[in-house]
Amino acid sequence: MMTSESSDSRFQQLARLPKYYAAQAFNRYRRLGIFGKMVLFLWALINVFLVIFIIVLTPTRIFQFLYDESTKLSHTRFGFLALGAIIFLVSFPPFIGHTTTVTVCGFAYGWRIGFLIAAAASIIGSATVFCVLRLLFSSRLRQWSAKNAKFMALESVVKEKGLPLIILIRVSPFPPWVYSNSLFASIQSVALWQFVVATAFVFPKLLLHAFIGSRMAALSDGNQREEMDTSTKILNGCLVGGGIIVAVLASWLVYRLVQNHIRKLEGVSPAVDELAAEAIEDFNEEAPLLGSPQES
């Protein structure tokens, strides 16, 4: 039976979590280079303008427009190829928007077909990125990794543990999709077939986002909303909100599990484990394939 003291202690630990993660986020921001800070500032500015845009035009009009356009796209003969091409493109750094495009697939084609489009394009796009970056930047990779202790530790850990660890890192939300592609292309011990197999383990996440998109589409069309009773509207709204919450919580939990797992690998020294975990946390668009080699 839990005592009042242990309950108070647990409550205090939970109360400290927001402060801890705020400090972690601020430290990560400070470690960003000028380019990274500019990208973050631009992202924040875009979101501010997006919120203002939604308030001015009203969500109802915006989502109805999006639904009408997505319906036109789904009735276009090769509309699915257009969405697949976008997913293929945003698999290359420094482009972003993979999760958003997957959600649009579900919005336009429903969760079943939308998922198939997203899965096929994601596999093809990420495998292409892997091959292109590794072929074009092999010499830069050797120069960079030889001078980076964290990345050398990550390479040694991945080589030692193989496919199971590759899968764990791949399903983690950090680094994001596009930089995860370049991360694995940077690790010479990772074979293409291992990368493709690991990418297939991301499919449940793609299915969830396609499902969220399909429920959003049902709520976006005025005609469909008029035919729904109140309970159906509430159910669809809960499915959208619940799906987003599940996606966020699952991503956070997977990331924490991956980090804890890497830091406690058996047969690997704690120092190497820590460096490998930091290599994943700190990996960004500046290293190692997209920027000039630099010593860490």
Q: Going residue by residue through the chain, which has 296 residues, state the pLDDT in tens, using 9 for 90 and above.
A: 445 555 555 566 556 656 665 666 667 667 666 766 676 777 778 777 777 766 676 667 777 877 888 888 888 988 999 999 999 999 988 788 899 899 999 999 999 999 999 999 999 999 999 999 888 877 776 676 667 777 777 778 888 888 988 998 898 887 788 888 888 888 888 999 999 999 999 999 999 999 998 988 888 877 777 777 777 777 777 877 787 787 777 777 777 777 777 777 766 677 766 666 666 666 654 455 554 444 33
Taking the C-alpha atoms of residue 103 and residue 191, their distance in angstroms, rounded to an integer, is 29
As separate numbers, helices (DSSP H) first and strands (DSSP E) second, the chain gives: 14, 0
Looking at residue 204, its pLDDT comes to 93
Left, alpha or beta for 97 (phi > 0: left; psi -120 to 50: alpha)?
Answer: left
Q: How far are the Cα atoms of 66, 71, 88, 109, 214 from residue 77, in angstroms, in the given order?
A: 19, 12, 19, 13, 20
For residues 283 and 180, is the Cβ–Cβ distance under 8 A?
A: no
Q: How far are the Cα atoms of 161, 279, 284 from residue 150, in angstroms, in the given order?
A: 17, 5, 13
Query: CB burial class (10 A; 0-12, 13-18, 19+) of residue 266?
Result: exposed
Taking the C-alpha atoms of residue 106 and residue 211, their distance in angstroms, rounded to an integer, is 6
Residues 6+ apart with CB under 8 A from 70: 104, 107, 108, 217
Instruction: Tell me whether the omega of the peptide bond preceding residue 288 falls within 30 degrees of 0, making it cis.
Output: yes
Taking the C-alpha atoms of residue 86 and residue 179, their distance in angstroms, rounded to an integer, is 16
